[in-house]
Amino acid sequence: MANKLKNLVLRAIALVDRGANPEARVVLAKRDNSEDSTMRKAEHGSMEECMAAGKTEAECKELMAAMKRAEEDQMSDKLPEDVTKALAEVADLKKRATEAEAREKAAEARIAKMEDERQREVFIAKAQEFKELPGANPDDFGPILRKAYGVWTPEEQQKVEATLRGAVKIAQDSALFQEIGAARPAVGSALDKLNAKANELVQKDGKMTFAQAFTKVCDTDEGKALYHQHEQEEASKAGARRVR
């Protein structure tokens, strides 16, 4: 490794509190050229001005070359063309990346919207199964189911669906929706007993619909027992029809 460097061109010397090379020595000199004003003018002029100052052609050529090198050294502080070009390319790439990111976010938003619409349609279709229940309009009940299914566990979803299907079966098998709110005396069937109890609730609470009263009756222990009896009676009827 060389330990002595020669013919170096120093473009800048920095004064720091802790240099990288403590053994380096730099000697500076300053010269007063006030008496040689004519020559200094020639140094910053043309070839003709240099020769007019009394210099030979060879000396003036050498001086012009030195002036050109000094000018190039001063220009060295400016970024080289290839570096400027590279920086422009980086800026262009950054701009493209920003635009691509914006397009990607817009695409993700469109996909999310499409998925949201698809999920809405799925649950509206699912709610069609329960459309016979009071207040269970599929367009309204579907989004409610979707929100609830996002919270319920699969086991809870199955239990709720079973309960809803049971309520639908009651609506299909019962005559309660044909004569809503009609006062009917209790007779021998379990369904008639359920209807009678629901009518009693409607008469006590004028704001309650017959369907709501019927559902409330079925939630009681006695109502559950009557509904179970109703299912057995329906099964017996179905068996009798098959025998005939």
Spatial separation of the C-alpha atoms in residues 97 and 88, rounded to whole Å: 14
Length reported for the chain: 244
Cβ pair 132, 211 in contact under 8 A: no
Note whether 134 and 176 are within 8 A (CB).
Answer: no
- Residue ranges of domains in the chain: 16-77, 174-244
| pLDDT per residue of the chain (244 residues) written in tens, 0 to 9 | 556 667 777 777 777 777 777 777 766 666 655 545 444 544 445 777 777 777 788 887 888 887 777 666 655 555 667 777 877 888 888 888 999 999 999 999 998 888 888 888 888 888 888 887 877 888 888 898 888 888 989 888 888 888 888 888 777 766 444 444 444 444 568 888 888 888 888 888 777 787 888 888 888 999 888 888 888 888 887 766 555 5
Cα–Cα distance between 97 and 101 in angstroms, integer?
6
CA neighbor of 195 nearest in space, from 205, 207, 183, 209: 183
What is the largest distance, in Å, between two alpha-carbon atoms of the chain?
A: 141
Predicted local confidence at residue 194, as pLDDT: 86
In the prediction, which pLDDT does 30 show?
A: 63
Region at 21 (left for phi over 0; alpha for psi -120 to 50; beta for the rest): beta
Residues 153-171 have pLDDT tens digits of 988 888 888 888 888 877 7
CA-CA distance, 73 to 226, in Å (whole number)? Answer: 105
| pLDDT for the residue numbered 104 | 92
The amino acid that residue 162 corresponds to is A
Q: pTM of the predicted model, to two decimals? A: 0.37
| Predicted local confidence at residue 75, as pLDDT | 54
Whether the Cβ atoms of residue 138 and residue 124 lie closer than 8 Å to each other:
yes
The pLDDT value recorded for residue 78 is 58
The phi-psi region of residue 189 (left if phi > 0; otherwise alpha if psi is between -120 and 50; otherwise beta) is: beta
| 52 DSSP assignment | H
Amino acid at 133: L
The tokens for 51 are: 């020769």
Q: What is the DSSP letter of 208?
A: S
User: Could you tell me if 207 and 216 are in contact, meaning their C-beta atoms sit under 8 angstroms apart?
Assistant: no
